[in-house]
Amino acid sequence: MEQPTAASAPPSRGLVLIVEDERAIADVQRIYLSRAGFGVHVETTGQGGLDRIRGLRPVAVVLDVGLPDIDGIEVCRRLRARNDWTPIIFVTARDDEVDMLLGLELGADDYMTKPFSPRELVTRLKTVLRRSDGIPRRGVLRAGPVTLDPEARTAAVDGSPVELTAREFDVLAYLMASPGRVFSREQLLSAVWGQADYSAGRTVDVHIAQLRSKLGPGNPLRTRRGVGYSADAEGS
């Protein structure tokens, strides 16, 4: 469904969910956010956004107000009602809508009026994430003999450095950041490659195989047959 994005900086800031029914706008947002180092997943309906947010666990949602099914306001309400406080940046078509939205006290984090500069969106998003502490600032991740430093982007086995490609590193860091949690190939594609395409699932398998080979028998990667992959918990 989603077209692969052009080569860009490795997504290391986490995944942003865009809910936007205008394809051209979503494409521009996707390109700029990818360049800024975010993974991006696009849904074109409110229901699609609600369905996917649980599994994708984005660091933020860029939410269009005018959607063909459930509008952005209702999407936000339902998320907050189920105690999901993922930062939301509302995108509205009209200036006067912002006043209305502010009056509703929906618990959104920022508002932008179309048309807006995509650079401005990136700036606002970074501000929102700093405020909400959404950009992961994790310390060193450990699982058995494997250590991973997300800041320095280095990996080691029993203290000896291991050379990983940017994608291999991102896959491993993403899995180890949520120990024991199983992610589908599609979730990993969305989070690390910034695309959701079932046909590309093999790409994930290849990277997992390469990681296992490089990290050796003590690697923390686990296959859940028919579901996806996980990494062992710290110290297990």
* Of positions 18, 43, 52, 64, contacts Ca ion by CB under 5 A: 64
Q: What is the largest CA-CA distance in the chain?
A: 60
User: Taking the complex as a whole, how short is the minimal distance between the CB of residue 57 and Ca ion, in angstroms?
Assistant: 24
3-state secondary structure of 117: coil
74 part of the interface to Ca ion, by CB under 5 A: no
Q: Residue 165: CB partners within 8 Å, gap ≥ 6?
A: 210
Nearest-CA neighbor of 49 among 64, 59, 38, 39? Answer: 64
Closer Cβ to Ca ion, 28 or 177, answer by number: 28
Nearer to Ca ion, 23 or 131 (CB): 23
Q: Per the structure block, which two tokens stand in for 207? A: 């990277």
Question: Which residues 13-32 are close enough to bind Ca ion by CB under 5 A?
Answer: 21
What residues does 184 pair with on adjacent strands?
none
- Asked whether 109 and 62 are in contact (CB, 8 A), the reply is no
**Which residue number places its CB atom closest to Ca ion?**
66
The CB-of-111 to Ca ion minimum distance in angstroms stands at 15
Nearer to Ca ion, 72 or 150 (CB): 72
Going by the DSSP 8-state scheme, the letter that residue 231 receives in this structure is E
State the DSSP code for 178.
S
Does 2 engage in binding with Ca ion (CB under 5 A)?
Answer: no
- Residue 97 is a binding residue for Ca ion (CB under 5 A): no
Stretch that binds Ca ion, among 30-38, 65-73, 76-84, 157-165 (CB under 5 A): 65-73
Q: Which two tokens stand for residue 174?
A: 């993403």
Q: Is 43 in the site for Ca ion (CB under 5 A)?
A: no
Q: Which residues bind Ca ion (CB under 5 A)?
A: 21, 64, 66
